[in-house]
Structure 1
Amino acid sequence: MPTHSPIHSFTHSLRSPHGRLLDLRQPQLMGILNITPDSFYSGSRLSPTDETALLHRAEAMLAAGAAALDVGGYSSRPGADDIAPTEELRRLLPAIAALRRAFPAAFISVDTFRAAVAAEAVAAGADMVNDIGGGTLDADMLATVARLGVPYCLMHLRGTPQTMRTLTHYDEDLVLTILRFFRDQLERLRLVNGGHPPADVLLDPGFGFAKNAPQNFELLRRLPELAPLGHGLLVGLSRKAMVHKFLDLSPDTALNGTTALHAWALRGGARLLRVHDVAEARQVVRLHEMLG
């Protein structure tokens, strides 16, 4: 574990256009709600027709300490099937409506790379857009989030979920490449935002997205190098291949390894952990706060 303390300039909260706040002055947790039949971790899958199961899981996550819920209708696992926007919306909109009715104060993120889907989800009550494409998979995404005035998570990705496994070669230093990507996308977001710097933006380095196992571990070790960009970091490591394949496990048995990497991520400056297992991740955050 590194002995230095990373410096962060990001201290503010994310402000939803619906009036809700996500306070990131201290690290927080975002619970994963996959309304998909094919997400890589079978334990995370929820049926779009089973509202009871959705609400039960959401309630458990909120009770365990989740500050936000991330609802997705499109599996972004490597090689996942592409689905039409109409199918993505069919899965997402009833789920967001149900969550908003049951938990009116909950901060809800929509996990989508499609601008039209994001706009409908925000209209239905979503508070944030979590875009795995970082504005590269839909040319309208950056202008859409700027127009909506919605908090935005900008992730680093090369290619698509269907092609990213073939795009892990980087001609330059990995972290430098990611820094340049974020710089360029933040500038594009500034321009479509009327020249005003976007404030409510999280950056996600995209563990597992167009990155092989050694690259993922290098990125985790060097996470503090992303701090000078001045935006909070969202980190998604939960039960991913860098945990379960490295340890010769399945996603079902990768909780302990995930917990270890969550500690590294928090030490490296993560402000929001995207997790399947909220109670266990909350223990890591509490211990990190005590040691910090």
Structure 2
Amino acid sequence: MVVTDATGPRREAEAPTAKMRDALRAAHLYYLQDLTMDAIARELHTSRSSVSRLLSHARDTGLVEISIHSPLDLPSRLEQEILDRHGVAAHVVPVPDHASDVDRLERVALSAARILSRFIDSNQTIGVAWGSTMSAMSRHLTPKATHNSEIVQLNGAGNLRTTGILYASELLRRFGDAFGARVQQFPVPAFFDDPATKEAFWRERSTRRLLDLQAAMDVAIFGIGSPFAEVPSHVYQGGYLERADYEALSGDGVVGDVATVFYRSDGSTDGIP
């Protein structure tokens, strides 16, 4: 558990409110001094239910972060095995076997959103892709004030039905609002019909500026899409692909995508048109 003092750098509009100060004080008393809610209520001259709401506010706004470290449970053992085998620091979210894919998505998105703030800081360029997981995650982000940070859209969102701007911009806005960061959209199609068109577009200075931001990003946030999931990625249900596209992807052995970059079961992406 981490209690964050609310006196660090912030924009003028984010000055501590009375509720924030009370929530921080209640969190210190409860988590660091082991006082009961009744004792805190007496000290703050308020009710026990008000203390409970202050503690909830402290957790919801990022003043308090709770971490559980257990070497005994299955998720921890799986995390260690993934680290040993692949060199990847994973966070495994425990979900019951009977849970639906919709419930799994929501639980993973909620856990990921709460973990994410550890990796976000000031003076960062943060790449964000769109998709079903990212959209769910964006609804649960814990606010964290940063300065001089930018959210950069990683993949285009236009298709035959829509420009995708409204969908992508709402998702990006939630990230920008949560971290007090500027948002840079990437207004290009998700897929180009002609490679020559893409090459010409990539030579434009306005596009190059965004590509340079992407190349310099400090953090990349994306989901792993699959056409076989009960809750398919947005790229598979949003009108981005036609029957001929699915047939071509199947013929190439494609099993999923990361930020609309398709890959095979061995992780390769070469030669997929």
Compute the TM-score of the two structures, normalised by the length of structure 2.
Answer: 0.32
Name which one, 1 or 2, has greater alpha-carbon Rg: 2
Q: Which has the higher contact order (CA 8 A, sep 6+)?
A: 1
Structure having the larger proportion of residues in strand: 1
Query: What TM-score do the two structures reach when normalised by structure 1?
Result: 0.31
